Chain A
């Protein structure tokens, strides 16, 4: 019953939305699409998750970065 009420509340809210409101929702969807489907997917991989299989490998990588690569001097 409560779930039905909540559903109706949102349904009617979106249904009766002004054209401006609809335009704003369109902007939100386009923005989220660009962010997640384009930028995140093609340009922003999680380096540590993508390049290493497990935490042990990640620890070794950070160890190398902090102790060797950046501390050559």
Chain B
């Protein structure tokens, strides 16, 4: 595989990761805060109590700041598709194009119309009409997320499509199969409810800060109460769909599950690691092993030591405590007893598919339709392993995701999710007992909850995206094939530019936001 420019592949991946992670700083707050605004405004319209209007307007102001800074940051990702990932863009064409086109139209019409009414409509339209606009903004922003996540889910589990060798691209034959992709349904609910959780943490953090500063305590407490209830319901939904996601991963991306749990050797009744660290050969430390891990040097030797829940992983993955969960070794070397083919076999199948495609194209050009169709048949039979054909027996490690990174991200996300569940309960009872002012420790934890919430969000993305490496389309297209052959230094330059632009936007957001928060509800 000497012909692969790994520097280019890694920088392109790093650039996409950087822009996606930055984009995701702004998005979850828009998704969740829009619904909390709708809830607060509903209380105001229902009760007619002016304090809820004041509360609503304060959070609307913060929503507006986040919306303004974050809007259109996702467009950068589309630029990257065309420049850095042109092979991929062509290959997936119609499947990615349709959901993104719907997203673009929907986001433009729904968000731009109803967001404007939210901000400009006070005293110009009726209370109920304004409330409708607020609810429709929330629904619109969340529907935008649906289309993006549908496209992402297709990459994890490509359904509803057919590869056309004549156009060299995938074409959609069943839109509904793409939309109701089981991976997509779970991913959508898991992602948006985790965004709601983060937004609830944001409202609690700001409110806790104001209470600690002895400012607008009553308004802050009412806001906290809404956030605690909203956050509790959201985290329950996040945990439930997280369980569903794990089952989907076990079914469609078993290597990702093995990496998430650092499971080297598969077993029946596999335990679930609660707290643990990955270790590698030669007694390297974690950072060294993660560095090696990312470049595919050490994964075969990664093991995890920690506290285990017996049978936990088998139950989590297959709802059966005795089920066999394949480990990294089983997937790479195969396990005849469990009917798992080895990667060597899959590489062989992939190479047959690539050769058959090549022959089909040649025969078609020569006008030999009959032989071409025979080759096409061979190609179709082996297409499910198409992407493996780009690997070699001696580069099998490249087919394993960065285990340490995936393991740590997954476990950090799960641990934080568990803490948030408890935290929302603590906040709720402290407010109901009217003693939250005295619990300074809880208020301080409330402020810390904001960066922890963001961390959990980003860890979730790292688990999902690093864990599926090397695939951009599961089993069909690896990232090294998806990437455009452009100069590496171009990618490095744009990486640096994005870093500067996004960091500037983030600083602007934090600065404007903190200024407005310090003013409190009175402004």
Contact = CB atoms under 8 A, between A and B. Distances in A.
B124 A43 contact: no
B119 interface: yes
B83 A45 contact: yes
Given A39-B494, A73-B392, A67 B361 contact: yes
A9 B166 CA distance: 52
Contact of A27 (B68, B361, B494, B516): B68
Interface in A32-60: 32, 34-35, 39-40, 43-49, 55, 58-59
Interface stretch (B329-337, B424-432, B483-491): B483-491
Contacts of A31: 69, 72-73, 501, 505
Contacts of A70: 3-4, 390, 480-481
A9 to B, nearest CB: 6
A46 B89 CA distance: 10
A28 B64 CA distance: 12
Interface residues of B, number: 54
B80 A62 contact: no
Contacts of B64: 21, 24
B188 to A, nearest CB: 27
B485 A24 contact: no
B43 interface: no
B82 A47 contact: yes
Contact of B354 (A24, A32, A34, A66): A66
B354 A47 contact: no
Contacts of A68: 358
A43 B490 contact: yes
Interface string B1-41: 10110000000000000000000000000000000000000
A32 to B, nearest CB: 6
B297 interface: no
B69 A27 contact: yes
B133 to A, nearest CB: 12
Contacts of B486: 47
B510 interface: no
Nearest to A71: B354
